[in-house]
Amino acid sequence: MQKEKAMPRGADYVKRNSKRRYYTYRKASKKPASLPPMDTEKVKISFLGGMNEIGKNMTLFEYKSDMFVLDCGLAFPSAELLGVDIVIPDFSHIIAFQERLRGIIITHGHEDHIGGLAYLLKQVNVPVYATKLTIGLIKGKLEEHGLLGSVKLVEIKPRDNITLGQFNIELIHVNHSIPDAVGLAIKCPAGVIIHTGDFKVDTTPVDGDMIDLPRFAEYGKRGVLALMSDSTNSERPGTTMSEKSVGESFELLFRKAKGKRIIVATFASNIHRVQQIMDVADTRNRKVAVVGRSLENLVKVGAELGYLNVPEGILIPIDRIRDYPDDKLLIITTGSQGEPMSALTKIAMGEHRKVNVTPNDYVIISATPIPGNEKMVSNVVNALMKRGVEVIYENMYDVHASGHACQQDLKLMIGIVKPKYFIPVHGEQKHLINHATLAESMGISRDNIFIGDIGNCIELSENGIKKLDDVPSGETYVDGYGVGDVGNVVLGDRRILSRDGIIIIVTTIDCSSGYIIAGPDVISRGFVFVKENEELINSIKEIAYEVISDRYDRRYRDWNSVRSKVKDEVARYVLERTKRKPMILPIFMEV
């Protein structure tokens, strides 16, 4: 029988037997089941603020020996941060590697993007890149801190390119609630990263300059490694209302306010809103007074740089409002978020030195409460209404248009950029997760989406997103001139003082004999009213006297031991009698 021809090595061989079954033999591949990925270029991104929070935006980009910072903002303190003025990011990671820092880029002039800049520039000296209006607002910040002459400020415009080491960054114009806002195309050997900054899609912007969607789309056609996109409004369906529609609402409301004085509260940085308010006031022959330091600065800078067209003769000093009848006046003020120290809050509480409200006032709050501020805004509204003031707030009329994209616009951005990886930024956890869900609905795999947190550091390449060890991050509290000198211990003491008060026990001792010659005297603040609680105060005196007499060592004078015992015994007694835990401060004086 003729032998079958041997098949060449590596080829499929099929042998047919008598039952016509088929057996296939294939040569085993020399390739292992999975090869390690090829080494590719990698870029690092560290989130130092703006993730899982509203405000304090700050991101660090690193490629090999080069790095740059995107934005450097602040956040306003929550209610439990007693006495704290502002909160800024922890800069320690940047300062540790400052020799590699090539510059700082700012996307726009809101406080949550520029408010921490002066504090960082006191510790590192690098160029700052921003658009014209943003530079104007930054100059005011630096002047306050005595830094204006020592910092290099570089004015840039959309479609300009900045080279920072091996990074090349192009600015892309976006719509927001402040002019001159930009997104970024960040290019390095690892690929292109698109960062939207804070943005919305406004087809009829007040300044006539629509978001540069064609440029975003061009990058999408070329190939984008990752998209980092604003998540603030990711819970809201539909599209964001145009700012121009707010002007139409003002026209209607100003007519309804016939015969009354109008007070409008808005975000201090919203030049477009201020412009529309002034324009409508001019058509109604009303003079305009501005209240609030930040708002006054914005009007000054905006007018000087040509971003605000102030009708001639319309502005008057706040001191002159008494010279005009109510129906010829309009006051623009800060405090749309109900901030305790803002002008509107002081006006509502009757504490403002120059503005007193009456039932002949018509107040328009032209803003939506930022998450967490709802109660403060409600308190202001209630206080105004108690004074007989008519208040227009929240969704009663279209008196506010958000500066952030809603779901349809967010999906549009994802659709035209077509990123391989998606990273939602700027928002609380619920905003980031909702935005990630939108990205999944647009066809981006869940494995290609990273939801970050403050301190996270990731390595990004064509091979994937790799989470690295966290970097130093967190919050630095600014209280008056002090930066970082208020921490958990100080805040803990302030909470005790605010909740249960303080008891100060003062005792004078003869240093030669060791005997008590005066006291103990008890001073109480925020604990009880002394005149109505003499028995309790006397008992505290007796306990302190007994402890000092028993524990005072005339030879070694161990004051720490005596103080500790006085605190413990008085605290135990006060807790039993009152169920309170005041701060107890024994003071010994030797004479």
Active-site positions?
A: 230, 404
CB of 66 within 8 A of CB of 186?
no
Tell how strand 128-130 and strand 101-105 pair up: parallel
Which amino acid appears at position 27 of this protein?
K
Q: Is the dihedral of CA 533, 539, 542, 544 positive or negative?
A: negative
Residue burial 547-584, b: 16+ Cβ < 10 Å; e: rest: bbeebbeeeeeeeeebbebbbebbbeebeeeeeeebbb
* Separation in Å, CA 247 to CA 128, 147, 389: 34, 38, 23
**Structure token pair of residue 252:** 């209607």
Q: Which DSSP helix (H) or strand (E) runs through 517?
A: strand 516-525
* Separation in Å, CA 156 to CA 176, 194, 214, 294, 394: 18, 18, 20, 24, 36
Tell how strand 58-63 and strand 66-70 pair up: antiparallel
Which amino acid appears at position 292 of this protein?
G
Residues facing residue 362 across a β-bridge: 262, 390
* Separation in Å, CA 78 to CA 75, 319, 371, 430: 9, 33, 11, 19
With a CB cutoff of 8 Å and minimum separation 6, the contacts of 46 are 59, 60, 62, 93, 455, 456, 457, 471, 473
- The one-character DSSP state at 11 is S
**If we measure between CA atoms, which residue out of 355, 349, 425, 420 comes closest to residue 383?**
349
CB of 171 within 8 A of CB of 156?
yes
Residue owning tokens 């005595």? 146
Q: Where are the beta strands (DSSP E) in 352-469?
A: 361-365, 390-392, 419-425, 457-461, 464-468
Q: How many CB atoms lie within 10 A of CB 376?
A: 19
Cα separation of 98 and 145, whole Å?
21
CB of 503 within 8 A of CB of 522?
yes
Over its C-alpha atoms, the chain yields an Rg (Å, rounded) of: 32
Residue owning tokens 């391989």? 420
Residues facing residue 315 across a β-bridge: 288
